Chains A and B, each alone.
Chain A
């Protein structure tokens, strides 16, 4: 079982083995899936998550879109005011507020006010502790 390894191409050896193994496992999974479909008498129990629960598309997509805007704006604002963590602070406050409002079910005046206070204080506290006090770099 002698093996000789060329150093110049040694970076490809292990990934090739792992990829091959992964493909074999994928084939096995597909095969098993088809077999269990064929014998419909004993269907595989559906994973818990896919049990028919209504998907809240607004909150799910809203989270993703807000997160995307958050990351992009954090970087942009951070470039305008480099090294003081303002990108983080100025983008986190609206992000936390909007996400809170998105997740809130019963938007009463009091609850919105609490959310606003939360959205201002939490990012401010994190920014003050990490960036100002401990000098840890934030975007």
Chain B
């Protein structure tokens, strides 16, 4: 219980203000939770790990939740994960039930958030305990599994795999890390780059580039259109919100929150997949499926409890295996790196205090989100109307600060930001997927070490099949995920044919 001494007023203040800023970020279309976390990461430098995490987790929870505001009021999802909230939320607002729809969404959000938090608390330590027994062989197979799962759930399997493998290749640029048993030789680059790329591209500038800079380039291309409508929109309350609306929604809530948590667990699969999946499940199981899409509260509930369910789910693989569940948790790795803490199977056991404080921060963030959104939704709507022409230049400046400070002041990291901003922009243009690319980029160096060291120690490829029963079990999961993705691709191909 030593960790209780770290529960300072600053801790609570950071978690709460993080949530507020996150909600604003989430509510501004085009800005996401990922961006909020990336932009605020340099601030955690001087805050220490625990306080820094409190801020970032608040931003994460707030960022995912804020997206529901423009989704319901303007039919524009504030974040990709609230796309399905527009299907029923906006028709409700048009019918004069704006406030009712918002409050239903807020209730569903906190249910999803708390549900996934409980699962995280129970499940992550168990998974970590199990993962401690993994040797390099199993660790490599886990990464392989993560990549196949990610590919299976990408928009297009082939594109997803390609993006992931490309991310891996980019991560291998530089020297084969001596500290992990490599030989220190350079590869995949020219001699003149050695000065800059000794350790390869740094993770954070790459992340801030593809998520922050690229977003601004895409907005610039669209002309940075000001959407002042949110400040003018009125929250109609013809029909008051009553908690009794949730009377018959228990199954929907539980199913959607579970789907959200589960999707969060899968690496590289973002919130939009979680809400789309749970929305389609609600449609499949609903007694009145024809009402969905025309302003049914159950649709809003399915969508919002799923995308908040993602938050706890995505932290499970990060804290137990060191594999981020989505793009925002990928940036959280940056916060740990800044403080010199490694996330992986040993994290929870070695840092029980930090682990418990993270759970408390998530809890505080969820409750703050609920209170702010439920009681101050009108003021939030006003906050969101900060003009983009003032906001975007400042965001870009913060991206530079983040990139520069992460490695204690290296100018090349700022250029990396620009390079990967252009890469992210190009990805959007040619239809490649960013999330698999980033997961590939993060996991590439570990995959190499685990693969090469396994072969060096055992001298045979068959070790990947014969090492232990866990290896065989992982192969079964890999086979299942590949079969699933092929089946899914065939189903989609059939659907697209007239």
A residues touching B (Cβ–Cβ < 8 Å)? Answer: 1-5, 7-8, 10-15, 18-19, 21-22, 25-26, 28-29, 32, 42, 45, 47, 49-50, 53-56, 59-60, 62-64, 67-68, 70-71, 74-75, 78, 88, 92, 95-97, 99-101, 103-105, 111, 114-115, 118-119, 122-123, 126, 129-130, 134, 136-139
Q: Does residue B169 face the partner (Cβ distance < 8 Å to A)?
A: yes
- Which of A25, A32, A103 gathers the greatest number of chain B CB atoms within 10 Å? A103
- Is B429 a contact partner of A49 (Cβ separation < 8 A)? yes
Q: Does residue B459 face the partner (Cβ distance < 8 Å to A)?
A: yes
Chain B residue, CB-CB nearest to A41:
B498
- Is B401 a contact partner of A28 (Cβ separation < 8 A)? no
How many cross-chain pairs have Cβ atoms below 8 Å apart between A and B?
176
- Is B226 a contact partner of A25 (Cβ separation < 8 A)? no
Q: Out of A42, A68, A103, which one reaches B392, CB within 8 Å?
A: A103
Q: Which residues of A contact B185 (CB under 8 A)?
A: 8, 11-12
12 contacts between A and B (CB under 8 A): A7-B456, A11-B183, A12-B185, A18-B168, A18-B444, A22-B162, A25-B162, A28-B158, A60-B217, A92-B400, A95-B393, A96-B397
Q: Out of A1, A14, A53, which one reaches B222, CB within 8 Å?
A: A53
Place the interface of chain B in its size category: 35 or more
- Is A2 a contact partner of B393 (Cβ separation < 8 A)? no
CA distance A4 to B456 in the complex (A): 7
CA distance A18 to B411 in the complex (A): 29
For residue B486, give the distance in angstroms from its CB to the closest CB of chain A: 13
Binds A, one of B103-111, B268-276, B375-383, B402-410: B402-410
CA distance A100 to B455 in the complex (A): 55
Q: Does residue B452 face the partner (Cβ distance < 8 Å to A)?
A: yes
For residue B414, give the distance in angstroms from its CB to the closest CB of chain A: 6
- Is B187 a contact partner of A126 (Cβ separation < 8 A)? no
Q: Out of A7, A22, A64, A123, which one reaches B165, CB within 8 Å?
A: A22
Within 8 A of A (CB), among B7-66: 42-43, 45-46
Given known A18-B169, A95-B397, A136-B42, contact A26–B162 (CB-CB < 8 A): yes
CA distance A49 to B462 in the complex (A): 45
For residue B438, give the distance in angstroms from its CB to the closest CB of chain A: 16
